[in-house]
Chain A
């Protein structure tokens, strides 16, 4: 059986009306037909032309007939399975199922100073192992836990990261592309008999796709793998300052990518990623933790439901706070519950701290409680004669009636309650006796426990391990030859590999 994740058992939250969804959809069709999207790839342009799009080769602009757009949207399956290394970790994506995804961070943070610093190779592998052990973390994102680790050249970050996740976990993982690295990623997942979703069709807002993204998409589809379309609008910078306006440009970018995918290979398993943000009008950086992201995401989920294509939300991935503090808690807790009640299939929760810049395993462990709590919420209220318990209420009556000693309580409480692993649930006196421990202290202890006891089950076979190592070697040689790993980088890298 595939991984269960959590199932939303009630109708999703909707914050715009059906007419407003329609208005945004018409806006998208309008922009795709009148403004069009720039595709910097001859191969793609030709394919579009062949399928009755209007192509301007001078500025690489493609204008799409609405009929074709809608047909391509229909070609996407609304639910599909992706294979993990362990069948119990396969995902069936779509519908009311919610999976929690780890949030990527460029670096780790120093817990004494809260400053970011690069993770070591050991920290990278250890964090993957911790994430493998957390029950409410269902899959990895490409750059999780970190963008890379100390001492590896830029071009090897993605392949080395994927190898670490394959070695220290058998959960499913997404992957990305950069400098053709998808060639090696595809080889690696095939070598261990699994799949990955490559977030290949990555748009560059506004309304542009560069060649590398398009090439990666062709490669992904040739390998018969599922694919993700992605974009990252900043409202007021790369998209309009209004949420409705940015919904139009953002979704138009994604839909244009979907059209290309479904033209290359109809029926391809496709999911919609995306990374929207308001702009911080003081610093110019994205406003992480802003409630505007949730307003955007919840409306976006409504549009994706109309298209019947699975999607992800990132609002809960990051906060603007630099510490694991109250702000980090509300800036990520609120978006997480909003995404879960409004129908996102993937939600980034675990481990993210400030922006895309920091991740920490202790945050992963804290967030596993948050994910579990939200998962419990969306599973809703069971209403049956037994749960309504009218006979029991009659039997217990007014004070001094009491429920704790009843069979009904023993049977039901554990199904109804979510019991967190590391939250502080003590009374004041107990808490003082405990040395005033916080969730953070308990998370630290759980981290040590996991590292001491958790085993990846099953581990890679020897021959799989050999394959991974061989493919990594190939990648290293490829980039050395291309001059993308300098001699200096190579010397440091070799030390890390030892």
Chain B
């Protein structure tokens, strides 16, 4: 019975069914299924979709569809894990967002999905995120990595500002900063004082592992 629910939860994500995934997550908890197990099948489902994308069989709408389905079930499971005071196995906590002045969300969404598929805990702050919001999230979630996305190089001052505040608040040593986006370069990353850069979403997920030596 419990296996069936978990199987269905996984299937819901593989079939991009957000509402179904959320309902099954609730049902799982009602049936006293271990939330860590539920989390595992969800991560496994997103990883499968990520692998399919990597092989060229699946496409962006599939990737984003799976991420959406996972995110609709995630808060339900996470709340239960926190309530039980369980520890979640994770490669690390990543706070992600598109910087202020930029409303491009596609690259950022891809990175979130792939980071989750790698096994990171991901907090997606959305687009047009101010420096203050980034800092607040880094503190709140005790982030290991701060990932900023931007399509346009014009946003450099804003990204510098984030790094400057991190330094001011003595957070710079506690969190790795990575940047990515269509027209950014290695040089740009160095210039603003980031720890790492990758132009692509799949590359970004791998970069996160390298930054944390995982």
Q: A404-B64, A407-B16 are in contact. Are A399 and B103 (CB under 8 A)?
A: yes
Docked-complex contact B199 and A413, CB < 8 angstroms: no
Interface centre among B59, B62, B184 (most CB of A within 10 A): B59
- Give A399 to B104 CA distance when docked, in angstroms: 11
Docked-complex contact A427 and B182, CB < 8 angstroms: yes
B109 within 8 A of A: yes
Q: A399-B103, A405-B68, A407-B16 are in contact. Are A429 and B60 (CB under 8 A)?
A: no
B126 within 8 A of A: yes
Q: Mark A395-408, 1 if CB is under 8 A from B, else 0.
A: 00001101011010
B106 within 8 A of A: yes
- Give A409 to B126 CA distance when docked, in angstroms: 20
Docked-complex contact B199 and A409, CB < 8 angstroms: no
CB neighbours of B68 from chain A (8 A): 405
CB neighbours of A402 from chain B (8 A): 105
CB distance from A387 to the nearest CB of B (A): 16
A433 within 8 A of B: yes
CB neighbours of B62 from chain A (8 A): 410
- Give A413 to B59 CA distance when docked, in angstroms: 10
Docked-complex contact A400 and B65, CB < 8 angstroms: no
CB neighbours of A414 from chain B (8 A): 59
Docked-complex contact B64 and A429, CB < 8 angstroms: no
- Our pick among A405, A427, A430, A433 for the contact of B64 (Cβ within 8 Å) is A405
Docked-complex contact B126 and A400, CB < 8 angstroms: yes
B40 within 8 A of A: no
A326 within 8 A of B: no
| Chain A residue at minimum C-beta to C-beta distance from B18 | A405
- Our pick among A410, A428, A433 for the contact of B183 (Cβ within 8 Å) is A428
Task: Provide the main secondary structure of the chain A interface.
Answer: helix
Docked-complex contact A429 and B200, CB < 8 angstroms: yes
- Give A320 to B152 CA distance when docked, in angstroms: 40
CB neighbours of A430 from chain B (8 A): 199-200
Docked-complex contact A429 and B126, CB < 8 angstroms: no
Docked-complex contact A404 and B184, CB < 8 angstroms: no
- Give A407 to B109 CA distance when docked, in angstroms: 17
Docked-complex contact A429 and B185, CB < 8 angstroms: yes
Docked-complex contact A433 and B199, CB < 8 angstroms: yes
> Chain B contact residues (Cβ within 8 angstroms of A): what range?
20 to 34
Q: Which residues 407-430 of A have a CB within 8 angstroms of B? A: 407, 409-410, 413-414, 427-430
- Our pick among B61, B103, B185, B203 for the contact of A404 (Cβ within 8 Å) is B61
CB distance from B56 to the nearest CB of A (A): 11
- Give A404 to B200 CA distance when docked, in angstroms: 18
CB neighbours of A429 from chain B (8 A): 182, 184-185, 199-200
Interface centre among B61, B64, B65, B126 (most CB of A within 10 A): B61
CB distance from B66 to the nearest CB of A (A): 10
CB neighbours of B61 from chain A (8 A): 404-405, 409-410, 413
> Chain A contact residues (Cβ within 8 angstroms of B): what range?
10 to 19
| Chain A residue at minimum C-beta to C-beta distance from B203 | A433
B127 within 8 A of A: yes
| Chain B residue at minimum C-beta to C-beta distance from A432 | B199
Docked-complex contact B109 and A404, CB < 8 angstroms: yes
CB distance from B144 to the nearest CB of A (A): 25
CB neighbours of B185 from chain A (8 A): 429
- Give A414 to B126 CA distance when docked, in angstroms: 27
CB distance from A404 to the nearest CB of B (A): 5
CB neighbours of B182 from chain A (8 A): 427-429
CB distance from B67 to the nearest CB of A (A): 8
- Give A407 to B15 CA distance when docked, in angstroms: 10
- Give A187 to B183 CA distance when docked, in angstroms: 62
- Give A407 to B105 CA distance when docked, in angstroms: 18
CB neighbours of A409 from chain B (8 A): 61
Q: Which residues 423-447 of A have a CB within 8 angstroms of B? A: 427-430, 433
Q: Mark B53-93, 1 if CB is under 8 A from A, else 0.
A: 00000011110110110000000000000000000000000
CB neighbours of B183 from chain A (8 A): 428
CB neighbours of A407 from chain B (8 A): 16, 65
CB distance from A412 to the nearest CB of B (A): 9
CB neighbours of B203 from chain A (8 A): 433
| Chain B residue at minimum C-beta to C-beta distance from A399 | B103
Docked-complex contact A405 and B65, CB < 8 angstroms: yes
- Give A410 to B65 CA distance when docked, in angstroms: 8
CB distance from A265 to the nearest CB of B (A): 52
Q: A429-B185, A429-B200 are in contact. Are A404 and B60 (CB under 8 A)?
A: yes
Docked-complex contact A400 and B184, CB < 8 angstroms: no
Docked-complex contact B16 and A404, CB < 8 angstroms: no
CB distance from B143 to the nearest CB of A (A): 23
- Give A429 to B182 CA distance when docked, in angstroms: 7
Q: Which residues 170-198 of B have a CB within 8 angstroms of A? A: 182-185
7 additional A-B pairs beyond A400-B103, A404-B60, beta carbons within 8 Å, are A404-B61, A404-B64, A404-B106, A405-B109, A409-B61, A410-B65, A433-B203
Q: Which 8 pairs, one residue from A and one from B, show the smallest C-beta to C-beta distance? A: A429-B199, A410-B61, A405-B64, A405-B68, A409-B61, A404-B64, A427-B182, A430-B200
10 contacts between A and B (CB under 8 A): A402-B105, A404-B106, A405-B67, A405-B109, A410-B16, A410-B62, A414-B59, A429-B182, A429-B185, A433-B203
